[in-house]
Amino acid sequence: MSERRLFGRKGDHIVMRLGREERALITRLLSELRALLLEPAVAEAGSAPLVARLFPVVHPDRPDDEDEYQRLMRDELVASRLAGIAQVEAGLARRGSNVVFDAEELLAFMQAINAVRLVLGTMFEVSDDDDSLDGPDADADPRGRAGAADHPGPEGESGDDALVAERHLYGYLSWLLDSAVEAVSAGGTGEVER
């Protein structure tokens, strides 16, 4: 059986073969990420644990320098993330059976997807030993599970069970990001930023 490739090329653009449900899922995730970033607690360093990995400490041993950096740069990082989300949403919303991104849009897509992964990973405290989050085999298409997040399971499930969908989602996004890296690397569209 031939494997359906997620990414292809169309001139200088990257073609991403995402179904309508997948696009809707990713769009919803980005909307949720935006809502998280706009919460008032995010503006204050250390007050929003779920997005802590999106705003790491810069000067771990120099608290005054850290305070100054966060005062100057935290809002800018939030703004950068929000702009990236908007850029990806616009690309996903464009008409067409496939999603077509230019190089800049694909990079924004990768950053946004990874940001969602960071939030999810923080949510269930991913560790290096957590093989259960490897999800499907690296080369296997996990899109059969893509809708898992929309089907949370039977009523009365435990707190751990409630995260099963998120864990599958994490695996799916990991596969998506890895595929994007492969597509960009193969095409050499990654430009050096100086």
Partner 1 sequence: MLDAPSTEDEVSEDRPWIVLVWNDPINLMSYVTFVLQKLFGYDIDKATELMLDVHQKGKAVVANDTRERAEMHVFRLHEHGLWATLEHDV
What is the CA angle 78-33-28, rounded to 5? 145
Q: First and final CA of the chain: distance in angstroms?
A: 44
Binding to partner 1 by residue 174, rule CB under 8 A?
yes
Task: List Cα–Cα distances, 35 to 29, 54, 55, 132, 186, in angstroms.
Answer: 10, 14, 16, 28, 34
Binding to partner 1 by residue 117, rule CB under 8 A?
yes
Tokens of 147: 């809708």
Instruction: Name the one range near partner 1 by CB under 8 A: 27-35, 58-66, 85-93, 153-161.
Output: 58-66
**Least separation in angstroms between CB 130 and partner 1:** 7
Question: Are the C-beta atoms of residues 58 and 66 closer than 8 Å to each other?
Answer: yes
Binding to partner 1 by residue 137, rule CB under 8 A?
no
Size of interface with partner 1, in residues (CB under 8 A): 41
The residue within the footprint of partner 1, chosen from 43, 48, 77, 100 (CB under 8 A), is: 77
Binding to partner 1 by residue 64, rule CB under 8 A?
no
Binding to partner 1 by residue 131, rule CB under 8 A?
no
* Subset of 6-35 contacting partner 1 (CB under 8 A): none
Distance (Å, whole) CA 98 – CA 37: 28
> Which among 141, 159, 161 is positioned nearest to 151, based on CA atoms?
161
Instruction: Name the residues that contact partner 1, by CB under 8 A.
Output: 53-61, 69, 73, 76-77, 80-81, 84, 107, 110-111, 114-115, 117-118, 121-122, 126-128, 130, 174, 177-178, 181-182, 184-185, 190-194
